[in-house]
Chains A and B, each alone.
Chain A
């Protein structure tokens, strides 16, 4: 079965601290996609990054960086110098075949609620 685990339910940091959100996944597929989404209090799902299983290069986008390691089935997300506007729930997701084969049926982790205090 496919599964995404975000062990950190809630994290609270003070502005300018660095914070890493953990994501561990399970899949038997050899080709799959991993995603991170941000969900602010307004509710929309904001796409942050997509990674396919063949691309293990780490990625940096401004204050955001991602570390993908197939050996440990992890896809961790780091925010450097956090800001109050980073406060949100962050979801890690895996493209899944649980329901019949279409990989667009994402399996989400339970989410990590990040609170950044001034």
Chain B
């Protein structure tokens, strides 16, 4: 079965650079969530999109932005990178035809290292 696809899986950037992470949800899933997991930390919710509109916003820094495209894939853009942005970034998707039903699928994560 198709899963959530994230790319790239690993990314190394320098401070003050920009990075873009991509997420391709499971087919027919219209809701995408982004999470950030720092070293030794629990995943923290950043932002979510439903039908290409931002639905909820969590602890996402102002330097970060995200969007969901017409094919439902999503991109997380991170600018002016700081050392503290080094983390695992997870994307998850769910169907939301009649509200949240507990079906939530995570990708394998993108590991960002800022030097």
Give A residues with C-beta under 8 Å from B.
Answer: 33, 35, 37, 43-45, 47, 50, 52, 91, 95-96, 98-111
B contact face: mostly helix, strand, loop, or mixed = strand
- Rounded to whole Å, the gap between the CB of A10 and the closest CB of chain B is 11
B111 at the interface (CB under 8 A from A): yes
Given contacts A43-B111, A44-B109, contact A108 B102 (CB under 8 A): no
Query: Which of B42, B57, B103, B108 is in CB contact (< 8 Å) with A91?
Result: B42
B102 and A106 contact, CB distance less than 8 A: no
Given contacts A33-B102, A52-B102, A105-B45, 13 further A-B pairs with CB under 8 A are A37-B106, A47-B106, A50-B104, A91-B42, A102-B96, A102-B100, A104-B100, A104-B104, A105-B58, A106-B35, A106-B104, A110-B41, A110-B42
